[in-house]
Homo-oligomer: A and B are copies of this chain.
């Protein structure tokens, strides 16, 4: 029984998931966007930031997202952004399939994360991720352009958004370029924590 294909991101109320650049305001906004996740115990321990942290519903959600994920897929830009920033023991702990034109041998890291470089498109990357994930789910990790490619191709089953109470005004939009004539949504769940609103949608093709 194959798992689901999903993505899970934190989005500003005006639809952004990342700053376009890292100016002063943008750095501050980025911290505000993500502020709900930094104190969570699971997030801290998984990134090796230390023991302890919050253990409420937000923490459960971060942990559940990790636990369901048997493999991840990411775009080249997200990989390049993280390559030198992730610790030696990156927070995935599963195979990660990077959609790229770069030909490169698998890059094995500590803690069970191995990056595989896939040169023949998003379909193949997803197939390989599904195989690696077994009966767990495949997470389209990002960035925004890769998520929208999978959405527009009808390959995403559902997604979760942590909607942060912050306005960006500019930056990288989650749904930039989405094919609204093709992608229909169904509300599955909404849950409010003091810091953020967790929204889950199922994707239906029109």
A residues touching B (Cβ–Cβ < 8 Å)?
13-15, 25, 29, 161, 163, 165-170, 173-175, 177-181, 183-187, 189-192, 194-197, 199, 201
Contacts and interface: CB of A to CB of B under 8 A. Distances in A.
How often does this chain occur in the complex, in copies? 2
A41 to B, nearest CB: 22
Nearest to A168: B180
Contacts of A178: 14, 167, 169
A192 B197 CA distance: 11
Given A14-B15, A25-B181, A187 B175 contact: no
Contact of A187 (B167, B180, B197): B197
Contacts of A25: 180-181
Contact of A165 (B13, B177, B186): B186
A169 B180 contact: yes
Given A13-B175, A178-B167, A195 B187 contact: yes
17 contacts: A13-B175, A13-B199, A14-B180, A15-B15, A15-B175, A163-B163, A163-B199, A165-B201, A167-B180, A167-B185, A169-B177, A169-B178, A169-B179, A169-B181, A187-B196, A189-B192, A190-B190
